[in-house]
Amino acid sequence: MALAGTDLATGLRALVGDAAVLDDADSRERYGRDETERGGGPDAPFFPPQVVVLPERVDQVAAVLRFASAQRIPVTPRGAGTGLSGGALPVYGGIALGLERLGRIRSIDARNLVVEAEAGVITADLQRAVEAQGLFYPPDPASRDSCQLGGNLAEDSAGPRSCKYGTTRAWVLGLEAVLASGEVIHTGGKNRKDVAGYNLTQLLVGSEGTLAVITAATLRLTSLPAATLTMILPFPALAAAARAVETICAEHDPAACEILEAAAIDAVGRLMPLPPMLRASAALLLIELHGEHRDRLLERAELLAAAAAAAGAGEAMVAYDAAEERRLWAIRRRVGEAVKYLSTYKEADAVVPRAALADLVLAARAAADRHGLQAICYGHAGDGNLHINLLRGDLDAAAWHARRDAAEGELFEAVAALAGKITGEHGVGWTQRRYLPLSVDPPTLALMKSVKAAFDPMGILNPGKIFP
Q: Which residues bind ligand FAD (CB under 6 A)?
A: 34-35, 76-84, 87-88, 99, 119, 141-143, 147-148, 150-152, 154-155, 157-159, 208-209, 213-214, 336, 425-426, 429, 462
Least distance CB 83 / ligand FAD (angstroms): 3
Least distance CB 37 / ligand FAD (angstroms): 11
Q: Which is nearer to ligand FAD, 137 or 304 (CB)?
A: 137
CB 188 within 8 A of CB 194: yes
Least distance CB 211 / ligand FAD (angstroms): 8
Q: Which is nearer to ligand FAD, 26 or 321 (CB)?
A: 26
Q: Which helix (H) or strand (E) holds 106?
A: strand 105-109
Least distance CB 460 / ligand FAD (angstroms): 13
CA distance 248 to 380: 13
Cα distances (angstroms) measured from residue 304 to each of 165, 230, 244, 359, 380: 20, 12, 10, 24, 18
Q: Which is nearer to ligand FAD, 279 or 334 (CB)?
A: 334
> φ and ψ at 299, to 5 degrees?
-65, -45
Q: Which is nearer to ligand FAD, 336 or 384 (CB)?
A: 336
Q: Which is nearer to ligand FAD, 88 or 368 (CB)?
A: 88
Q: Which is nearer to ligand FAD, 240 or 458 (CB)?
A: 458
Please list, in sequence order, all residues whose beta carbon lies within 8 angstroms of the beta carbon of residue 25, skipping any fewer than 6 positions away: none
Q: Which helix (H) or strand (E) holds 416?
A: helix 397-417
Q: Which is nearer to ligand FAD, 13 or 101 (CB)?
A: 101
CB 58 within 8 A of CB 216: yes
Q: Does residue 174 sit in helix, strand or coil?
A: strand
Q: How many CA atoms lie within 13 A of 37 on its CB side?
A: 20
> φ and ψ at 340, to 5 degrees?
-60, -35
Least distance CB 295 / ligand FAD (angstroms): 31
Residue 269, judged by CB atoms within 10 A of its CB (0-12, 13-18, 19+), counts as: middle
Q: Which is nearer to ligand FAD, 177 or 311 (CB)?
A: 177
Q: Which is nearer to ligand FAD, 218 or 304 (CB)?
A: 218
Q: Which is nearer to ligand FAD, 180 or 361 (CB)?
A: 180
Residue 266, judged by CB atoms within 10 A of its CB (0-12, 13-18, 19+), counts as: middle
Least distance CB 98 / ligand FAD (angstroms): 8
CA distance 53 to 43: 26
Least distance CB 465 / ligand FAD (angstroms): 6
Q: Which is nearer to ligand FAD, 37 or 408 (CB)?
A: 37
Q: How many CA atoms lie within 13 A of 124 on its CB side?
A: 8
> φ and ψ at 388, to 5 degrees?
-110, 105
Least distance CB 142 / ligand FAD (angstroms): 4
Report CA 87 to chain centroid distance, whole Å. 11
Q: Can you name the residues that pair with 256 across neighbouring β-strands?
A: 288
Cα distances (angstroms) measured from residue 326 to each of 35, 248, 288, 331: 25, 22, 12, 9
CA distance 422 to 413: 9
Least distance CB 45 / ligand FAD (angstroms): 12
Q: Which helix (H) or strand (E) holds 260?
A: strand 256-261
CA nearest to 456, candidates 178, 189, 199: 178
Amino acid at 437: P
Cα distances (angstroms) measured from residue 129 to each of 114, 125, 143, 335: 12, 6, 17, 28
Least distance CB 198 / ligand FAD (angstroms): 19
Least distance CB 342 / ligand FAD (angstroms): 15
Q: Which is nearer to ligand FAD, 9 or 147 (CB)?
A: 147
Least distance CB 80 / ligand FAD (angstroms): 4
CB 121 within 8 A of CB 149: yes
